[in-house]
Structure 1
Amino acid sequence: MSLSLSLRVSIAKLSSFERETMSHSSVPRQKLMRRCRQKKEEEEPLGGDMEDLFSEKETQKIRESLLDWYDDNQRDLPWRKKSSESEKERRAYEVWVSEIMLQQTRVQTVMEYYKRWMHKWPTIYDLAQASLEEVNEMWAGLGYYRRARFLLEGAKMVVAGKEGFPNQASSLMKVKGIGEYTAGAIASIAFNEAVPVVDGNVIRVLARLKAISANPKDRLTIKNFWKLAAQLVDPLRPGDFNQSLMELGATLCSVSKPSCSTCPVSSQCRAYSENRTIPVTDYPTKVVKAKPRHDFCCVCVLEILNHEKNQRGGRFVLVKRPEGGLLAGLWEFPSVILNEEANLETRRNAMDLYLKEEFHVEPKETCAIVSRKELGEFVHIFTHIRRKIYVELLVLQLTGGTDDLFKGQAKDALTWKCVDSDVLSTMGLTSAVRKVYLMVEAHKKGLSVAAPVSSNITATSRKRRST
């Protein structure tokens, strides 16, 4: 098969030693082709319709205009404050927490979470002493719980290192949970390092400034957005400039209703000034999202009554999810995932088998069923899963004690536990688990159990922050 012209040119640019290696070595042809393509990508500064960087005049104008606008219009947010030289590490920690919280979450939602977090763990050393359960409880409702776990693990890693907080983007990226974007934000804002940041808002601004129609999800396109952002960073005020670029994307340069007439860089914006026949909102190019898969989940709220008569309530069984995967390490009611929709009898059979295997729950042998009531259903949407959840309340009277449920389970590694209702109502539970418990409370109060409104924690185009 003949090589393409561009690939032949790339091969021609290889050294004579490399060409000879291609002819005589045992290196597979596919690997050599891949190496040639990689070399070609590295040599080309920009690709597709991103063929040129900003001119020096454009760069200076954009820097000046954005910084002036930011100084006058920046939002008053709790994580934005100036710090002295001696407070840089604390400032870095505050930026880190805010940036992790802001990933795929609205700013207004984050503000109260951030205040509560910093009140409980004002420094990285305080956070490093926390348990994962404490962190998950504080995080409950923000979604994407892996962020919280990585934040805790990263804090423990930094404190254990005994070398202080990393102060450069390259060293920050060695910390668990800190990627290129977060490293750039911390390094530029807290330590004044002239490095770029690229999130969903920055991509939108750059795509419009340069009228870039290339696929914003493509690996090479993303790499080129980083090159453009790196060129623009102001060397004297890198942190403020990066925040101004993100602020512009979060406010004036919005997804569907950009305020081009009041934008400080509209005169440098090609999408606005040169392509009047193409709407500004066509940039960046919309990428069709993959359809979420559908699954079905039976949730059994298992209430265990005590032996005493005339009691008003019992204890609820919670199960800890596996340490890896979706909602890792969080507590929930016993549940079974089904691959298809099923009737009540099928769902109960699946749940009965699960309860027997996990908790030794067998009617007439280990317990008596006091009541069993189907409460309703609702839909919960994750990033890639649309889950229909069926809820029932099963009240049991055990012939033995609740200790029988935990046979063979090490106390320091519990995978399930029993909690009182007053404890359950104050725990940091996911939004789906809270919805289930609200249905139980409504049933106990004799209220109609209306199916909750479909909950949705889907991220929008992987934006790092939203308005």
Structure 2
Amino acid sequence: MQPKQFRTELLKWYKDHKRAMPWRGDTDPYKIWISEIMLQQTQVQQATPYFRNFISQFPTVYDLAEADQHDVLKAWEGLGYYSRARNLHAASKMVVDEFNGQVPQTYDEILKLKGVGPYTAAAVTSIAFNKPNAVVDGNVIRVLTRYFGIEDDTRSTKTRRNVQELADELIDKKYPGDFNQALMELGSEVCTPTRPDCENCPIQAGCIAQKMAKTDSIPYKSPAKKKPHYIIGVGIIERETDKKILIALRPNEAMLGGLWEFPGGKQKDDEKIQQTIERELNEELGVEVKAYKELTSLKHTYSHFSITMHAWHCKLISGKPKPKESQEIRWVTKEELEEYPFPKANKVLTEKLVK
């Protein structure tokens, strides 16, 4: 199949089969940019309600730039990968201050925005500004490695560079935004990781993996390193005088920065979980506490590690809490907990406390 036919068949299929999404068909570069940031590491169905809520709260780049980071993170709560929200907030200020409130139209300029990498730059400039910049994500890698019969490890930089070059050669110069979306849609809906629907694929006539019955082995991805697992202990300190609970604000530069949490940390070898909590709260807050009753335990998986979190009620024995390792600490009522953005694991605890 020649490149021209590839483009023709793909775009024809896309016109007939593209899914309805709240950002599709919208010409506002700001909304397209927001959607692309949300779709990093996130499925369409999960991102959709967040996108609608986010745009209703921050309808323009000026609204986002003027917003408090607390409100931006609260709107993002539950979507994960919170550095995306912090970077997006910082980038909105750049757009206002350095680009007169206009999302940059060129690939090189938009790359200057915090949190914008090659994929996002290509997606936004092609969809919003009709620039012929080819996107390469997991879906595109799967489609093109199968189509061209590439059996090399897709974790390698060389393979990804090869796929990028092929995408650059194939992209439709007249309709680059539709082409990019079509290729990603094909990977998502037809050329799926397992049991691809080859019979209904518009480009299957030229697909080498399909002809060689290798769709099970292509793309090849070398095994990932085993994720470490950590035992975490956190303390719930309830003030006796007014029953308010202590929460801490994580440093912006840290993982999950800008979110609130119950103080605590990793268990050391040969340490009981109560000892972990008492030690961590002493290090983080400068206080002596007694962990006396477990509230709950839960498991959570992040991108590079997993945790089992144990939350214990703690009695304050001595000292006045200070934010030694956090930006800020606050005493809040159980009802007020819902107003603060928390990481997902901590959010489970807040819900349990409120109930």
- Alpha-carbon distance in structure 2 between the residues aligned to 1:112 and 1:59: 37
Aligned match of 2:89: 152
- Alpha-carbon distance in structure 1 between the residues aligned to 2:298 and 2:194: 30
* Mapped contact 1:296–1:340 kept (Cα < 8 A): no
- Alpha-carbon distance in structure 1 between the residues aligned to 2:150 and 2:158: 13
1:176 to 114, 123, 147: 114
* Structure 2 residue 299 is the aligned partner of structure 1 residue 353: no
- Alpha-carbon distance in structure 2 between the residues aligned to 1:161 and 1:256: 45
Change (3 A) 1:108 1:327: same
AA aligned opposite 2:22: P
Give CA-to-partner distance per residue, 1:196-254, whole Å, 9 cap, x none.
00000000000110011011111111111111001111111110111000000010111
Aligned match of 2:149: 211
Give CA-to-partner distance per residue, 1:358-409, whole Å, 9 cap, x none.
445447xxxxx7x93112322211111121211111255x999xxx545999
* Mapped contact 1:380–1:387 kept (Cα < 8 A): yes
* Structure 2 residue 290 is the aligned partner of structure 1 residue 382: no
- Alpha-carbon distance in structure 1 between the residues aligned to 2:239 and 2:185: 52
* Structure 2 residue 235 is the aligned partner of structure 1 residue 258: no
- Alpha-carbon distance in structure 1 between the residues aligned to 2:139 and 2:250: 34
* Structure 2 residue 29 is the aligned partner of structure 1 residue 75: no
1:159-198 correspondence to structure 2 within 5 Å: 159-163=96-100, 164-198=102-136
- What residue ranges of structure 1 are gaps of 5+ in the alignment? 1-56, 84-90, 308-313, 364-368, 443-467
Aligned match of 1:425: 338
Structure 1 stretches of 4+ with a deviation exceeding 4 A read 406-409
Aligned match of 2:67: 130
The DSSP-based 3-state class of the residue aligned with 1:240 is: helix
* Mapped contact 2:69–2:86 kept (Cα < 8 A): yes
* Structure 2 residue 165 is the aligned partner of structure 1 residue 245: no
Deviation at 1:352, TM superposition (A): 2.5
Deviation at 1:441, TM superposition (A): 4.6
Change (3 A) 1:167 1:407: closer
* Structure 2 residue 53 is the aligned partner of structure 1 residue 116: yes
Which is worse superposed, 202-211 or 325-334?
325-334
The DSSP-based 3-state class of the residue aligned with 1:282 is: coil
Which is worse superposed, 386-395 or 151-160?
386-395
Change (3 A) 1:254 1:340: farther
* Mapped contact 1:393–1:440 kept (Cα < 8 A): no
* Mapped contact 1:202–1:246 kept (Cα < 8 A): yes
The DSSP-based 3-state class of the residue aligned with 1:165 is: coil
1:434 to 347, 350, 354: 347
1:328 to 227, 239, 257: 257
* Mapped contact 2:54–2:75 kept (Cα < 8 A): yes
- Alpha-carbon distance in structure 2 between the residues aligned to 1:82 and 1:153: 24
Give CA-to-partner distance per residue, 1:36-63, whole Å, 9 cap, x none.
xxxxxxxxxxxxxxxxxxxxx6101110
TM-score between the two structures when normalised by the length of structure 2: 0.93
- Alpha-carbon distance in structure 2 between the residues aligned to 1:241 and 1:357: 54
- What residue ranges of structure 2 are gaps of 5+ in the alignment? none
Which is worse superposed, 380-389 or 183-192?
380-389
AA aligned opposite 1:373: K
Find the structure with the greater CA-based Rg. 1
* Structure 2 residue 31 is the aligned partner of structure 1 residue 94: yes
The DSSP-based 3-state class of the residue aligned with 1:100 is: helix
Change (3 A) 1:357 1:229: closer
* Mapped contact 2:268–2:276 kept (Cα < 8 A): no
* Mapped contact 2:248–2:262 kept (Cα < 8 A): yes
Aligned match of 2:232: 297
Change (3 A) 1:349 1:124: same
AA aligned opposite 1:135: V
AA aligned opposite 2:6: I
AA aligned opposite 2:165: K
* Mapped contact 2:284–2:323 kept (Cα < 8 A): no
* Mapped contact 1:214–1:221 kept (Cα < 8 A): yes
Change (3 A) 1:427 1:223: same
Deviation at 1:77, TM superposition (A): 0.2
1:286 to 200, 221, 245: 221
Change (3 A) 1:285 1:127: same
AA aligned opposite 1:350: T
* Mapped contact 1:296–1:341 kept (Cα < 8 A): no
AA aligned opposite 1:375: L
Aligned residues: CA RMSD: 2.3
- Alpha-carbon distance in structure 1 between the residues aligned to 2:353 and 2:185: 43
2:245 to 312, 316, 341: 316
Identity of matched residues, %? 35
TM-score between the two structures when normalised by the length of structure 1: 0.71
Deviation at 1:162, TM superposition (A): 3.7
Give CA-to-partner distance per residue, 1:309-350, whole Å, 9 cap, x none.
xxxxx111111222223212211001121244743xxx3233
- Alpha-carbon distance in structure 1 between the residues aligned to 2:225 and 2:182: 32
